[in-house]
A and B are shown apart, each in its own frame.
Chain A
Amino acid sequence: MEFAELIKTPRVDGVVLRRPFQPTVEGTLCLTGHHLILSSRQDNTEELWLLHANIDCIEKRFVGTLGTIIVKCKDLRVIQLDIPGMEECLNIASSIEALSTLDSVSLMYPFFYRPMFEVIEDGWNSFLPEDSFKDLESMTDEWRLSDVNQDYCVCASYPPLVAVPKDVDDDTLRKAAAFRHAGRFPVLSYYHKKNGMVMMRSGQPLTGTNGRRCKEDEKLINATLRAGKRGYIIDTRTIAVAQQAKARGGGFESEANYPQWRRIHKAIERSSVLQESLIKLVEACNDQSHNMDRWLSKLEASNWQTHVKEILTTACLAAQCIDREGASVLVHGTEGTDSTLQVTSLAQIILDPTCRTIRGFQALVEREWLQAGHPFQQRCVQSAYGNGSSVKVRCEAPVFLLFLDCVWQILRQFPCSFQFSEHFLVLLFEHAYASQFGTFLGNSAAERAKLKLSQKTVSLWSWVNRPQEAQRLSNPLYEANSLVIWPSVAPQSLLLWEGVFLRWNRSSRCLDEAYEEMVHIIEYNKELQNKVNSLRRQLAELETDDPLQHTE
């Protein structure tokens, strides 16, 4: 298919662009295969350069022959284009609709994007499972890297290499996989160096209504326990939901078959509920009614903050079991690709200072989200404005965005403990939904391999890890903190993430200026500190020198 077929009117003059908090711009609108571009005719600079993939939905209106297209983006921005000429407007609108909903992944922009920057370090090779396993090997010899999923046959959503207990052979893994949802047998997610306890994750066990059991599965997870020690299974579903899952072949680990494990049920909502919540939240944020009661009711009714709290609470529980109780933990929900990953990755942020660095956080996203098989493409196909446009079973859900929101809450409570700033989290949110980079394409390692993303597209990490970009994303207040950080999960401590949800509804000028001023002060402070240090050294040198040499 040629993009040109979809573009009936590639160019319209005299288009007016309206955005909140910015002056209106008149210019020429151009459509390309992947972008919507508006440039003002005066100085030939582009005023707007928008990826079609970023467009969540459009609305069109007509007054006489003047058409208006309202473009609602996945990054939550809303812009308005006034287009003279009804036909032009209709053509543009239908092109945008077609180009923003392309079905084939290989037509996406990352396959056409050529980097304008020098790739110093290829992000596709930055975080290989082999490398992270080497770190693990330096701490313990109780684990091995299994290639049982080499050809993605045992588990379609797992990577080819996974870490499992040393004493468990591949055969046992295969049998355990047959007993777990979509073959997601328990694998290592995190090793707590301080006390040797581990966190594992998996899909739900397929016990079904007649309480099936699987010796191999029991053996696999028991192999992670120390003699005489009990472990915790954190089920991200309520007991009622877990019971219901039995009717559809799923289930949970019974006390009788897993006597060494204590099961705790928490209530993280399933993805469809989260999507509703996001839609309501964004609607509340965009409400112009100036009515305080209405805002707070709407915020409450969206339930978003409740989801943030539930996820953080569950992550804290997992971290607590490991660090305070000295017990190993297995986390799962139903599929093990959504709430499970939220919990395991947040628990690591709480426990492991490495995850709070720029590279460590990338490694975490790579390990616990991309490699672990979070279906990014399905989940991020639509954002908050795209309700009802797809006929298929809806599988979009802001699972990753909620994770980022939770990280932001922790970052806000521990402003000096993270090497990266809020900007990094916002950047990841944007790129998960629409990007020139291939990192978030596909739903699993298998799909990414099939699409040959590492050969055909550029990795987001190649961009992020350039020194100037890493500098931009870094937190000026950072001071390495090797401690476990326990966030407050009291509702009063959780705030709305303004950087994402109010980003386009407020003028950020004052906040940006303040941020720059803070950076400036910190740099100046460092400079002075260096000066003091060098003067001290000089003084010490002068004092140790033979005083007679200086008398003339």
Chain B
Amino acid sequence: MEFSEHIKTANVEDVVLRRPFYQPTKGTLCVTGHHLIFSNRGGDSARPFLLLLRNIDAIEKSVENLPSVSSGTITLKCKDLCVLQLDIPGMEECLNIASSIESLSSLETVSEMYPFFYRPPFLSLQDQWGLSSTEQHYAQMKEIHDGWRVSQVNRDYSVSPSYPPAVIVPHSIDDETLVKAARFRQGGRFPVLCYYHRETGTVIMRSSQPLSGANRKRCREDELLLQAVIDGSELGYIIDTRSSQQAQQARMTGGGFESKSCYRGWKRLHRQLEKGKVLQESLIKLVEACGDQSHSVDRWLSKLENSKWLSHVQTALSTAGLVAECVERDGHSVLVHGSEGTDTSLLVSSLAQLILDPDSRTLAGFLGLLEREWVQAGHPFQQRCAHSAYSHVRLRHEAPVFVLLLDCVWQLARQFPLAMGFSEPLLLRLAKEVYASDYGTFLCNSDQERCVTGVKERTHCLFQSLLRANERQHYSNPLYERTELAIWPSIQPPSLQWTCAFSPIQWPFDMC
């Protein structure tokens, strides 16, 4: 398919662009395969305004067709929550532009997306894609070499389609056992290591739910695998991110939970974290509340409350705090899972690492954490971030789990202003990039998909770009002072603040 088929009118003169914090400007609007380009006719020093079509979440148009005037207005609501307006002379031009935007912004074919065309002079496709592989990560952690090994059991993605080719597992467990354990876990996501705590020698593992089903099936190999994790110590904790009722119900559809009798030594705790549609609707309500122009404090606070967003932040932080407490204070290993193990499990395991591990709080360390725990671990970015808060399209798999993570990290950084090596602009940048990006990092739903579509060969990696010297400086926290201690967040409701980031009028525009 050619992009040009979608473009009936490529250029319009005398278009007026209105955006927050800028005077309306008149200029030329240009539609390309991936961008809207607006250039000011005066053309002095101002760079043209560039908007990725992928960033457009919803579009509204109104036209006027009278003998005297023929014009139209297009309102663009972007996934980064910015709202823009274009006044276009000529009804036909307006309708053409609108339909081009509509079809080009909803292209689904990954290999046609902009990252496959973006070729900045400062990066080379020959560079390694990504910051680190499982093997490299393992090699750096000498202290785990005795008890843990890298398994290539998933090298062809046949054991778990959403896992990376290599994972870290207990030394004593062979690949055959892993294959069998994988059959007992949803999506083949058997328990793997995500964090090793040096002081206590305990670990955080993650997986998906066991497929015990209605007739309480069990799996020796899965039990062996978990037994090997707590080898020697008496107790481990399973933090299930569903309520116990939800976990019970999951048995009806073939899922389930680890029963006490089969997993001796493991104690199960349930902490319900919302995901999927509930979370997406929460974001939609939050953004609506932030955009409310009624200027009534009561209305704002009840809408904020009604969105439940801050409750989700609180639950995520308190569950992560619980995991960290088990590991650091009680000295017990933890397994985190919900159902699929690709959303709330990742949220909890990565927040727990930020609380515990000073290495994950540096700029490079944080990006490494995101790569390991979200990109490689198989968070389905493409499904989750297909649409943001404005879209009228019926919801399918959208959910702002990653945005919720960023908000939780923002709360941590606000409570511990010295502890993080990165600053708020990085979080804002990531929130923008995850929905629409020049880079391939957040494309696809798993490592396997990225291999198949050639993302690693034909796109650039965002994380590498963010670690270039000038970007690094921009995103560093000038107050940063490394602390080796765990940072325990306060989850008292008044300590959790709403961030201006969700406010459409406040969203910074530094990318455009």
Q: A402 → chain B, closest Cβ, in Å? A: 14
Known contacts A290-B493, A292-B314, A502-B495, A510 near B305 by CB under 8 Å: no
A518 at the interface (CB under 8 A from B): yes
Bound state CA distance, A492 and B287, in angstroms? 11
B497 at the interface (CB under 8 A from A): yes
Task: Annotate A294-309 by CB proximity to B: 1 below 8 A, 0 otherwise.
Answer: 1111011001011001
Specify which of A291, A303, A305 is in contact with B493 (CB 8 Å cutoff). A291
Q: What is the interface residue range for chain A against chain B? A: 35 or more
Q: Which of B31-39, B169-177, B295-303, B384-392 contacts A (4 or more CB under 8 A)?
A: B295-303
B297 touches A517 (CB 8 A): no
B297 touches A309 (CB 8 A): yes
Residue of A nearest to B505 (CB): A490
Q: B436 → chain A, closest Cβ, in Å? A: 24
B297 touches A491 (CB 8 A): yes
A416 at the interface (CB under 8 A from B): no
| CB within 8 Å of A: which B245-301 residues | 289-290, 292-293, 295-301
Bound state CA distance, A514 and B487, in angstroms? 15
Q: Which chain A positions have C-beta within 8 A of B296?
A: 306, 491
A305 touches B297 (CB 8 A): yes
Q: Which chain A positions have C-beta within 8 A of B335?
A: none
Bound state CA distance, A490 and B290, in angstroms? 10
Specify which of A290, A292, A490, A502 is in contact with B295 (CB 8 Å cutoff). A490
A285 at the interface (CB under 8 A from B): yes
B300 touches A491 (CB 8 A): yes
Q: Which chain A positions have C-beta within 8 A of B300?
A: 491-492
Q: Which chain B positions have C-beta within 8 A of A511?
A: 417
B496 touches A300 (CB 8 A): no
Residue of A nearest to B293 (CB): A490
| CB within 8 Å of A: which B389-428 residues | 415-419
B311 at the interface (CB under 8 A from A): yes
Bound state CA distance, A492 and B416, in angstroms? 23
Q: State the main secondary structure of chain A at its contact with B.
A: helix
Known contacts A292-B496, A296-B310, A492-B503, A514 near B297 by CB under 8 Å: no
| CB within 8 Å of A: which B212-229 residues | none
Specify which of B301, B419, B478 is in contact with A305 (CB 8 Å cutoff). B301
A293 at the interface (CB under 8 A from B): yes
Q: Which chain A positions have C-beta within 8 A of B495?
A: 502, 506
B310 touches A521 (CB 8 A): no
Known contacts A292-B310, A295-B494, A296-B493, A491 near B418 by CB under 8 Å: no
Bound state CA distance, A521 and B477, in angstroms? 12
Known contacts A510-B415, A518-B479, A306 near B493 by CB under 8 Å: no
Q: A513 → chain B, closest Cβ, in Å? A: 6
Q: B290 → chain A, closest Cβ, in Å? A: 6
Specify which of B314, B418, B494 is in contact with A285 (CB 8 Å cutoff). B494
A494 at the interface (CB under 8 A from B): yes
Residue of A nearest to B301 (CB): A300
A290 touches B298 (CB 8 A): no
Bound state CA distance, A549 and B140, in angstroms? 61
Bound state CA distance, A510 and B483, in angstroms? 11
Task: Annotate B303-315 by CB proximity to A: 1 below 8 A, 0 otherwise.
Answer: 0110010110010
Q: Which chain A positions have C-beta within 8 A of B419?
A: 510
B136 at the interface (CB under 8 A from A): no
A528 at the interface (CB under 8 A from B): no
Bound state CA distance, A510 and B478, in angstroms? 15
Bound state CA distance, A75 and B418, in angstroms? 28
B497 touches A514 (CB 8 A): no
A491 touches B415 (CB 8 A): no
Q: Which chain B positions have C-beta within 8 A of A501?
A: 494
Q: B229 → chain A, closest Cβ, in Å? A: 31
Q: Which chain B positions have C-beta within 8 A of A510?
A: 415-419
Interchain residue pairs with CB less than 8 A apart (22) = A284-B494, A290-B493, A291-B493, A292-B310, A292-B314, A294-B493, A295-B493, A296-B304, A297-B302, A300-B297, A300-B305, A490-B295, A491-B295, A491-B299, A492-B290, A492-B300, A505-B494, A511-B417, A514-B417, A514-B418, A517-B479, A521-B479
| Known interface pairs A290-B492, A296-B304, A502-B495; 13 further A-B residue pairs with C-beta atoms within 8 A, sorted by A's residue number | A287-B493, A293-B308, A296-B302, A296-B493, A299-B494, A491-B295, A492-B290, A496-B497, A501-B494, A506-B490, A506-B492, A510-B417, A514-B417
Residue positions of B touching A, CB distance < 8 A: 289-290, 292-293, 295-302, 304-305, 308, 310-311, 314, 415-419, 478-479, 481, 490-498, 500, 503, 505-506
